[in-house]
Each structure stands twice: as structure tokens, then as C-alpha cells.
Structure 1
């Protein structure tokens, strides 16, 4: 069972990277600081994509703000846009371990 768990974690790690890259593309860009702040964390069959800057959450939620490059809900929209690919990446990692 350990090889399957390890493969699932690798799949989650890879899937988090897929979401991270999509989110970076969607993140508003004025100075690039917010785009550079995107990170992933994982462990215990979980993975997360997050932004750590103090203004990241507000920037994400303010749908009324105009952005020349990027959009509000950049992380949420990235998850939605990549949901099928995320599932495929995780499934492929597990299949390879079987």
C-alpha cells in the first residue's frame, strides 16, 4: 500500500503544480510580486496552492477591480479550469505505480 500512497502524493504534488502555473497566469500583474508569491505545500495525501502576501486574499476577492493583466478569483478560476487535468495527473501517477 505504501507505493500507492507515495504515487498518489506524487500525483497530488504534480497536480498542485498544474494549478499553480494556471493561477500565476491569471494573477493580476502590476509589479509581478503577487505572481512570484504563489507557492505549493503538500503532505499526508493533501496538496495546496496558496499566496502568502498580506494583500493576496483581497486582490483575489475584489471582483470590481480592473486589471490590465490578470483577473480576480485567479486561484479559484485556475482550479475550475484545470479540474479535469488535475484528476488525470493524479490518476496517471497511481496507474504507473500499479
Structure 2
């Protein structure tokens, strides 16, 4: 019996699956945080996006409005019911187990 080991190909497949999992968990975070983001006209909520950088093996969830940081950090601002400051940080903490499960499932797919 002869066994050929293609380590570079295996590592590439695993890295791709890992990135897919990170992106899926970031999409989950975006969905949850979109329900908490301050909402007056909806511009801030609509600006939410997930970006992916395969070279750095990183994903990011961001809201792209000049006032996004202030709305997130200023705990003295008033918001509509269900909307609040820390709209990204709080779901990042509360959804951690779900995001880890999403990542683990995606990362394990090539091993099935």
C-alpha cells in the first residue's frame, strides 16, 4: 500500500473551510447586531457589512457611518426600545457559543 500525502493541498482546504466558518459566524453576528443597532432612519443598520481578508485570515463586522462609533460607545444616548449602545459588542459576547459552533461545523466539513 502506498500513501501520498498532499500537505499543501490539505492545508489550503482546511484554511478555506476555516475562513468560511469565520465568515458565517460574522454574518450571524451582523444579523443579531442589526436588531440592536440604533434605528432612526435605518442608515446605520443598512451600513452593516462583513468583510473578509483571506490573506490575513480575518473577518470583520462593521457599520460605516460617521456616527457609528459614538452610537456604539456613548451610553448616555437614548434609543428606541430594543435598540442600544454596544450594539456590536454585546452580541459578540452573548453569541460567542453560537459563533464558535458555526465555525467548528464549517472547519470540520473537509474532514467528513
TM over 0.5: yes
Using the size of structure 1 for normalisation, the TM-score is 0.95
The answer on 1:73 being equivalent to 2:86 is: yes
Identify which of 82, 85, 88 aligns with 2:98: 85
Which structure carries more helix by proportion? 1
The runs of 5 or more residues in structure 1 that have no matched partner are none
Larger Rg over CA atoms = 2
- Give the aligned length: 98
Q: SS state of the match for residue 88, structure 2?
A: helix
The runs of 5 or more residues in structure 2 that have no matched partner are 1-10
- Residue 96 of structure 1, CA deviation: 0.9
Q: SS state of the match for residue 18, structure 2?
A: helix
The answer on 1:95 being equivalent to 2:105 is: no
Runs of 4 or more above 4 Å deviation? none
Separation in 2, partners of 1:78, 1:5: 26
Q: Which has the higher contact order (CA 8 A, sep 6+)?
A: 1
